[in-house]
Structure 1
Amino acid sequence: MLPGLKVGDEADLVWRVGAEHAIHLGYPPPSLTPTAVWAPSNTSVSAVVFSTPSMILLMERAARKAIEPYLEAGEASVGANVRIEHLAPTPLGAEVCAVARVTAIDGRTIDFEVTAHDRHEAIGRGTHRRAVVKLEKVARRIDEKTKLGLGPVGPLPGQPGIVSLAHEQSVHHSSVGGVSGPAAETAGPLPLPNTTTIRVEVDGAIATVRLDRPQKKNAVNVRMTEDWEAINRYLAGHPEIRVVIVSGGGDDFCAGDDVPEVGTLSMVEAQELSYRQARLYLSWEQLPQIFIAAIAGAALGGGCVAACACDFRIASHDARFGMPEVLLGWPPGYGIAQLTALVGKSRAMELCVTGQPIPARQAAEWGLVHRLVPTRELLPAARKWAESLLALPATALTETKRLVHADEGLQPKVAFFADTAAYVRCLELPDAREGIEGFKSKRSGSQRSR
């Protein structure tokens, strides 16, 4: 370590709170447990805020910044101790600043006083210790551990047994994405739920899930959201079901959210419903089943997101895909990251900013659809595809799915925090009210749904 660092030296670092830095307080709300049903009269209130681990990381990064000019080649600073108080919440989108001030230096160990604040107040304070280490030594120890094996963690000698991460994930498989934790812990598998807006048929290892609001183009309302959450809990408890085919009753797959119902919700209710819908679609990535979307007619807004959330998509030649929310006066409340992952930023921008749908053939060219078939062959072709997947090794298939989704990283899984915040802000504006009224009176034929 080079000389020159002294007590009183400071460094600061500023972040803008993004979805990847946030935690959703109040989730899962009581509505996601088997004993409670969400309704506008008993909606839970939640908040998306800067998380404590992220604040600590920002503080550590500020301290590391203070040390960096004094490191020699082959050296790095690592955290050795942290004692932090989190004093106040900070919302998504706000800037936060961490300041690290050197309070003591003992050879290669440096102590810091660390603070954090947003534009309004102090949000954190504490102390932090960093040690300067040789990278060669760290790399050697990591290599030793890797060679010893990376299996499930067990108890250390002389310590009580602990639950391994693998077991914890299997029990709390649903902690993100609309599958409630309590259901996953229920003794014995759940029975097939009694749903009113979705029909489920289980035939061996294949479940066929059909949206059943054909008179509303299978638009997703509060009741369908509840039904999907119940179905997700059921699937989480039935790994013997290996493939799920999702289709729409009538002529359409899903025309998105039920816009007239959106117009009756308070901003808190709309926000919570958007969070729930985002999580229930994201949960399909975590469930062990392979999801195949069989798409005919409209797949718009939330319906397009549902299709994107499936692992595979097969469509009839008459299918059309779009994100028409902007035509109603608001941005998509969720699903932008999943759409962008499939078609790329430029094409996602075209779909979301123009609000105009694309036909099935173009969707296939863009990578949004895997296969196109005549309408009469849609469900038989989806079934044949499902049966071909059953011929593959079950564990290898599930693990491959998990790895592909995990490779995207965390940000796409939490981007809906920012999406929903923007959606709710716009939903309060006159343009949105006008859009909803226009939809209800059918003044604009292109405004089909959110």
Structure 2
Amino acid sequence: MSHTSTATAVQISVEDTIGYITLTEPQRRNPLSVKTMRSFLEALTDLSANPAVRVIIVRALGPAFSAGHDLTEVVGRSLDQEREIFAICTKMMQSIHQVRQPVIASVQGIALAAGCQLVASCDLAVASTAARFGTPGVKIGLFCSTPMVALTRAIGRKQAMRMLLTGEMIDAATAMQWGLVNEVTNPETLDTVTRTMAQTIAKASAMTLSTGKEAFYRQIDLAEDDAYQATQEVMAVNAVTHDSQEGISAFLGKREPQWQDR
């Protein structure tokens, strides 16, 4: 099963249980224009509503994953127009956390500014050894303040500040060491490694994955007491679901579970 969205900059497809969102403007280094961000949001919404899709992979064509905002849209605009650009970007990034499926970034090249924000916003990320990451806004007088939100929640403060203040790029190995990506692999194996990770996750109950992802982002910035209060209720409710009872029974009975996603 495969279909394509109307916008040329974003392609959507489904293969088995994995949904793909592909940025398809390689000649422009896949900029996140307002139109592209709206199309991405639409693609994310479409895939999220598809019951067959258990995991979503975000990838891009060409040498760059995404060079960030389309700067031609940022020049000579009114304050309200600038607000619109960053509001749609924020909505897009937050939606990645709000959709029920885990979202994996498959990063083949440079990911800069809002492109780096996109990687940091995804639940997981696999990078090619050719990938580079940076928040170079400081070099052009526009500090990467919104990318900073996702970046500082993915990596430590000192490392984030170094990227933000210097504007210098880091390589894939450094990105993994700092916690921005989960795994680094050769360019020729990037698709396979990302797909294998997605398939491993897709074996779980979709209901269980959705429950866990929502709880993760709800508790992550809470104080420990509040986090435990929130998650103990999530676990109790999860425990009485069909799939939890089936999964535990299957484990105890040494058989494969039959998920019903409820």
**Equivalent in the alignment of 1:379:** 191
SS in 1 for 2:130: coil
Q: Out of 67, 85, 103, which is 1:273 matched to?
A: 85
Any residues of structure 2 matched to 1:250-329 within 5 Å, and which? 250-329=62-141
**Equivalent in the alignment of 1:195:** 7
**Equivalent in the alignment of 2:233:** none
Is the counterpart of residue 401 in structure 1 residue 216 in structure 2?
A: no
Q: Which moved more, 1:285-294 or 1:328-337?
A: 328-337
Any residues of structure 2 matched to 1:40-189 within 5 Å, and which? none
**Equivalent in the alignment of 1:215:** 27
Is the counterpart of residue 338 in structure 1 residue 144 in structure 2?
A: no
Structure with the greater alpha carbon radius of gyration:
1
CA RMSD, 1 decimal: 1.6
The separation in 1 between residues aligned to 2:214 and 2:220, in whole angstroms, is: 11
Whether the aligned pair in 1 keeps the contact of 2:41 and 2:95 (CA below 8 Å) is no
Unaligned 5+ residue runs, structure 1? 1-190, 411-450
CA deviation after TM superposition for structure 1 residue 263, in Å: 1.1
**Equivalent in the alignment of 1:359:** 171
Post-superposition CA distance 1:370-417 (Å, at most 9, x none): 10100011111111111111112222222111111111348xxxxxxx
SS in 2 for 1:335: helix
Q: Quote the sequence identity (%).
A: 30
The size of the alignment, in residue pairs, is: 220
The separation in 2 between residues aligned to 1:375 and 1:405, in whole angstroms, is: 31
| Higher share in strand | 1
Q: Partner amino acid for 1:281?
A: M
Post-superposition CA distance 1:270-294 (Å, at most 9, x none): 1111011111111111101110100
* Greater than 3 Å deviation, 4+ residue runs: none
TM-score (norm 2): 0.80
CA deviation after TM superposition for structure 1 residue 333, in Å: 4.2
Any residues of structure 2 matched to 1:436-447 within 5 Å, and which? none
Q: Partner amino acid for 1:284?
A: I
**Equivalent in the alignment of 1:240:** 52
The separation in 1 between residues aligned to 2:5 and 2:110, in whole angstroms, is: 27
The separation in 1 between residues aligned to 2:104 and 2:203, in whole angstroms, is: 16
| Higher share in helix | 2
Whether the aligned pair in 1 keeps the contact of 2:38 and 2:88 (CA below 8 Å) is no
SS in 1 for 2:151: helix
Q: Partner amino acid for 1:261?
A: E
Q: Partner amino acid for 1:391?
A: K
Q: Which moved more, 1:198-207 or 1:232-241?
A: 232-241
The separation in 1 between residues aligned to 2:58 and 2:116, in whole angstroms, is: 12
The separation in 2 between residues aligned to 1:201 and 1:373, in whole angstroms, is: 24
TM-score (norm 1): 0.47
Unaligned 5+ residue runs, structure 2? 223-262
The separation in 2 between residues aligned to 1:312 and 1:229, in whole angstroms, is: 18
Post-superposition CA distance 1:96-130 (Å, at most 9, x none): xxxxxxxxxxxxxxxxxxxxxxxxxxxxxxxxxxx
Whether the aligned pair in 1 keeps the contact of 2:45 and 2:99 (CA below 8 Å) is no
